[in-house]
Amino acid sequence: MRTLVGLLLLCGFALGADKDDLKPIFDGKSLKGWDGDPRLWSVKNKELIGSTEGVKLAKNTFLIYRKKQFGDFIFRADVKLRNHNSGIQFRSEELPEWVVKGYQADMAQGNWWGGIYEEKGTRGIMVNGWKGKAEKVVKADDWNTVEIYCKGEQIRITVNGLVTAELKDSVKLKGIIALQLHAGPPMEVRFRNIRIKELK
């Protein structure tokens, strides 16, 4: 019995340690390491805030993480979306004027959460993670935890602990991380606890 208890404690410790291996890429105080339209992005109460209030966007725009590109990794962040549409770009490519092309963990008010979308590509919705999946767990106008897992060709999106989308694709195996503000109606999206762990 003691051996079993010890083993369970050891496993629990290992799981906790693994979780803590995710390193923050947002310091909670500034936009250091990130680059986007300064009219649209700010930091308050340890939250990274994107808002289009009072600014009419001609196209989708992004806050780009500049310090590093990532290939195989686990990314996790808490997201609160008010109105319209946002997303987290990964393994993506930068275009001029804070525009990004590539895989996106999609999210929108009342739908699209948990899916995989190709921004500025020809494939559009690659996996619909909303119907019968994310719609069961997403909390409207509240914080939701999004996790992106990439290892080789394997891509997996998890929302609030539920796997919502899986895809095997090798078009792009490494690229930038970026956060989206969508053109259209005024919107606001907030991110906190933005962390990542590179996989070997």
Q: 77: domain range?
A: 2-198
Categorise residue 193: left if φ over 0, alpha if ψ from -120 to 50, beta otherwise. left
Number of domain units in the chain: 1
CA 156 to chain centre: 12
pLDDT confidence of residue 19: 54
158 vs 4: CA distance, rounded Å:
31
Adjacent-strand bridge partners of 81? 189
pLDDT in tens, 18-32: 456 999 999 999 999
Amino acid at 69: Q
pLDDT in tens, 151-178: 999 999 999 999 999 999 999 999 999 9
pLDDT in tens, 33-77: 999 999 999 999 999 999 999 999 999 999 999 999 999 999 999
Instruction: Look up the CATH number of the domain holding residue 12.
Output: 2.60.120.560
Q: Using CA of residue 86, residue 90, residue 94, residue 98, what is the dihedral sign?
A: positive
pLDDT confidence of residue 80: 98
Q: Are 46 and 158 in contact (CB under 8 A)?
A: no
Q: Using CA of residue 48, residue 52, residue 58, residue 59, what is the dihedral sign?
A: positive
